[in-house]
Structure 1
Amino acid sequence: MPMRARNQLVVDHLHIVGAATAYVASRLTQVSRDDLASAGAYALVRAAEKFDATLGVPFGAFARGRINWALMDELRSMDWAPREVRARAKATTKVRETLSATLGRTPTVAEIASVMGVEPVEVREGLADAERMLLSLDAPDAPDVVWTGYLPEDLAIASERDEFLRRAVDALPERKRWIVRAVYFEDRTVREIAEELGVSHAAVSQQRAEAVRMLRDALQRHYEDEPHAVPEPVSRSSASVLDAYFERLTAGGQRFTRAILSHAVGV
């Protein structure tokens, strides 16, 4: 994609960074809005560099996921407290809340210390830690800070499409699958991949391009409005290679459906 077009994508979608940053900052205290915005903006630029319109995924949806992950990573990096400090802070605040409910007022530091069997200085430190720290995003009781920007029905459609695309990537021939994951999921450059595989830059680019064409064929087949109308493939692979690919993809979808049904009925 030309640099001018990539820059325009960034400009046109800066509002996603602003909205996501505002949403996260409104739900968590003691976070740097500037640091969040910087991480989100960098993710947006990287998304524009990696975006491939031929995959059929709108840029907004593609960028939104990368921005969310960038904000979550930034929040994790802000979580300065080691595990024992977080545990002490949570234990102290839990005792304070329990005593507040029992006494009908805010308990004193001495009362909290008496219940916990510790010195008052430890209670003060625990309460101070609780005021400064962020809950770990990996904890089961962590707040929901992921911003989607989707309406519920849009989210369902996007989720289904993402799941199908993931299965389509998994069904690719091994070398193509490895290259697609390295380029689009791991943000690795074609040059790095070529050096690791011991092949030319052009060879990796050709494999990547053909993998993308196969993904386009899979998406066209899956979302074809006319069930019996098979669109002309854009892939340059042989008919036998494509047939094998579609068979793997279909089998993968059946396994996925069976797993969902088994989970639903408790099998």
Structure 2
Amino acid sequence: MTSKKTTGASAAASSASAASEPARRRTTSRKSPIKKSTAARHVAIEDLPTEEIWAHYSQARAEKNVQDIEAIRNILMERHFPLVKYIAERLLQTLPKSIELDDLVSAGLFGLMDAIRGFDLDRGIKFKTYCTTRIRGSILDQLRSQDWVPRLVRLKASKIDKALQRLTGRFGREPTHSELARELEMDHQELSIELQSASAKAMYSLSDKWEDRDDDSSMEKVDVLEDKKSIDPLGVLNRDDMMGFLTRSLTHKERFIIEQYYQVGHTMREIGEMLNLTESRVCQIHSNVMGRLKSLFGTKQNTMLM
């Protein structure tokens, strides 16, 4: 009697177990999604050869998948950043020593972004060939369009000017060369070099002539220099608008990069170390911000940040 009950109970348990097995399988299958997460797919794409990354990018554009387009474009930017830096370094060799590599790299990244957006994989042209001209052209356009006074020169000139103001307030007169050198913790020769560099910010000779084609007369550039004491209302409005944009529209990371680069004077690599980002990623974020500023405020937006 007991054995029959045991046998019956075992059979019932087996039957219940068998009945619940499909449910367990269904529950398990629900916990294991077939598709990988977007982040996982992007990590996998990042490890692929460049040609395959381009294939994924073309597919994302065909499907109009905005999230994938942006993510894969960032991967392509990282992959081709060394080329931007190489082109910038080559150009830097032909330019005045006062111009900084980081500024050229940032300009070159605009060209790289345009090249990525405009590249057609089906044309059979190598991307390196296609983008090299765009990168170089973007750097040259920036050099031509900007009132190119390097950031470091501006920072040093500002430092000297502040020291002059402090000492003038302290002594009730303009400081001597020795007093200024001591305040800035420089020797006489070093201060002379810095003063010469700061005074060369105008970047042109005051004795150059402007030609007036209407009456064949000419005047020297010194005659048409702006009055530094006068206020340019449009410039003030543009700067106020830009400061509002920086406050309202940028993320904390974007604002930090802009402040550290233009106000403090850190390099892209140094900022990357602070944020635990690669140098190329910092350059890319900077270029994205500058592109937005350029569309709103024109080509001289970086001089307004200094």
TM-score normalized by structure 2?
0.26
